[in-house]
Structure 1
Amino acid sequence: MSKNNQETQVEQLAKSQSSWTGDKLPHYEQGQPEVTILKITIPAGTKLPLHKHSVINAGVLLKGKLTVVSDEGKTLHMKAGDPIVELVNKWHYGINEGKEPAEIIVFYAGVEGVPITTKKSKN
């Protein structure tokens, strides 16, 4: 194995006790911890359905642009490389208003048997 003269670099993208809207994150649920990692690709011009997450989650936008909107009207505009600490138990949606797909990796710190996402039903 050849040695490389470059040093490993570590860059902290996010560290927070609050979501992107400033709401404090909830305490973890009791039970068997379960980590889920998703790569989500949102086509250009796509608006995701209104949904909420019941577990703490965070992600990094890899490509494209993404706008996240809370049901309270707060808005977060993301570009490639931006981190997000998501809302927990609050309705929100994402929209890709760009001309290319948006790719985001999201890490969910949940509990076995607890759904990570719930879509709002249309009544």
Structure 2
Amino acid sequence: MKYMIAVLALACSGLAVAAQPTAAKSEILMQSDKAWDGADYKEYATGKPELTVLKVALPPHSALPWHTNPMPNASYIISGEITVESKATGKTEKLVAGQAVPEMVDAAYRATTGDKPVELVVFYAGVKGQPLSQPVK
């Protein structure tokens, strides 16, 4: 019986320690009212807001097709490196793991990968029913 009480006391003290609040830390990875190419973001579409978060894996030496995004979005590069390119200007920007990028809106662009696979998370802030991207011909 003494043994069971001691075990119960240890278990309860462990729960008390686990339940102690911890100080949360946060870091702004990116905050912008402009896309990576310097273009200002415009007014949002009207409608019920819908947030979408995608985890994307791209193989090495690959290219996404030219496309546009109709809403503000941002990517966080988890691993690898990726180069984004504007179709209109040819401007490029190389991004590496740990970087966040404000993506272009209503402007054609693509992304290409280097020698290693790329993993990224993309956050979209759109409205319900709005497509995340549209191909460019």
TM-score scaled to structure 1, two decimals?
0.91
Match of 1:9 in 2: 25
Residue 76 of structure 1: aligned partner: 93
Match of 2:11 in 1: none
Alignment match, 1:116: 132
For 2:96 and 2:61, how far apart are their aligned partners in 1?
15
Identity %: 32
C-alpha distance in structure 1 between counterparts of 2:56 and 2:83, whole Å: 14
Which residue of structure 1 aligns with residue 79 of structure 2?
A: 63
Kindly state the Cα deviation for residue 7 of structure 1 after the two structures are TM-superposed: 3.9
If each structure's strand is expressed as a fraction of its own residues, which one has the higher value?
A: 1
Q: Distance in 1 between matches of 2:112 and 2:78?
A: 15
Quick check: which one's helix share is greater?
2
1:91 Cα deviation from its structure 2 partner: 0.3
What displacement does 1:114 show? 1.4
Question: Partners of 1:49 and 1:81 in 2: how far apart?
Answer: 24
- AA aligned opposite 1:20: W
Aligned residues: 120
Q: Provide the residue aligned with 1:103 in structure 2.
A: 119
Supply the distance in 2 between the matched residues of 1:109 and 1:5 (Cα, whole angstroms): 31
Instruction: Specify every segment of 5 or more residues in structure 1 that has no aligned partner in the other structure, as ranges.
Output: none
Structure 2 unaligned residues grouped into runs of 5+: 1-14
Stretches of 4+ aligned residues off by more than 3 angstroms: 3-7
Higher relative contact order (CA 8 A, sep 6+): 1
- Secondary structure class of the residue paired with 2:104: coil
- TM-score computed with the length of structure 2 as normaliser: 0.82
Distance 1:38 1:17 in 2: 21
Deviation at 1:5, TM superposition (A): 9.8
Compute the displacement of 1:8 (Å). Answer: 2.5
Query: 1:9-28 deviations in whole A, cap 9, x for unaligned?
Result: 21111111101111111111
- Distance (whole Å) between structure 1 residues aligned to residue 22 and residue 131 of structure 2: 42
